Structure 1
């Protein structure tokens, strides 16, 4: 029955504290065979004036948005062709790779490439998964695609998986897998 105690400087909102406690719980469950209801996480808080490191009082760090929220917002902006808004989520050096090995660094280049593949595409999400590691976060989203081929014929139910990596709240890489090529043959 693991008990995790964490001390934070006062000032974090409820959502941030909940996300921290949830991730600690998940880390325990991924490491030892503990039932979910046997894992306890307790967060203690201290006033900034009661916390000092190196003779300097400290303030809370800025909480990052939830990684899934960043990915959802990026994808919504891409679907709406709000490239400026989507670009705000990208780190310097961002790269994206699509089926067939097509690799892009600029969203505008992706949009130009996609014009010969389909008129538009929308995504229906079946789920999102997060994986946390030493160098940041990986977010997977999966579901189905719908849209229109270049000739105006509709399509739907095409499987996809997108894999995003991010550091410091910015997307660094996107890998895309889907069955569009298989569906376009039929």
Structure 2
């Protein structure tokens, strides 16, 4: 029965504390073979007046956005072709890789590349998985199926996809995409 105690400065809301509790539970389960209900996480809050580092009082850093929600918001904006909203979620040096492409750095490049391949694509999500890398990036995997229309108006559906995102400082900096569109189209 692992017990994890976390000390944080006051200022984080219930949602951030829930995310911390879930993330710590999941981290323990990656090492200890325990069911989630066997892991206890206790969050102790400290007042700013009671915390000093380097002879100075400190304020809590603002919480980063939930990486899975950030990715979902981005993908939904792209599906609705709200390009400016999607761009607002991208970080410096953003690069994306789709099957058969080199790195693209602008969403307009993606739209131009996709235009002769299909009229539109919609995603049905089976799940989102997030993890922290050794460095500063969070990684989110999104998986599910694609549906849409080929350029001639013929419908397609049930095409598998996996997207991998890297997020740094609350912004998407890389997107890698794998799917079976080419195989499905070749069989049609």
TM-score normalised by the chain length of structure 1? 0.97
Task: Tell me what 2:172 maps to.
Answer: 171
Task: Tell me what 2:70 maps to.
Answer: 70
CA distance in 1, matches of 2:178, 2:27: 28
In the alignment of these two chains, the number of paired residues is 186
- Higher mean C-alpha displacement, 156-165 vs 100-109: 100-109
Superposition map of 1:2-151 within 5 A? 2-135=2-135, 136-151=137-152
**5+ residue gaps, structure 1:** none
Q: Deviations over 1:79-129 (max 9, x none)?
A: 111111101111111110001134311000110110000011110001111
Moved over 3 A (4+): none
CA distance in 1, matches of 2:165, 2:37: 31
SS in structure 2 of the partner of residue 103 of structure 1? coil
Q: CA RMSD in A?
A: 1.0
CA distance in 2, matches of 1:183, 1:27: 38
CA distance in 1, matches of 2:100, 2:65: 32
CA distance in 2, matches of 1:175, 1:54: 41
CA distance in 1, matches of 2:134, 2:84: 30
CA distance in 2, matches of 1:67, 1:91: 13
- Cα distance, 1:36 vs. partner? 2.4
- Cα distance, 1:32 vs. partner? 1.7
CA distance in 2, matches of 1:70, 1:36: 25
Task: Tell me what 2:156 maps to.
Answer: 155
SS in structure 2 of the partner of residue 74 of structure 1? helix
CA distance in 2, matches of 1:74, 1:91: 12
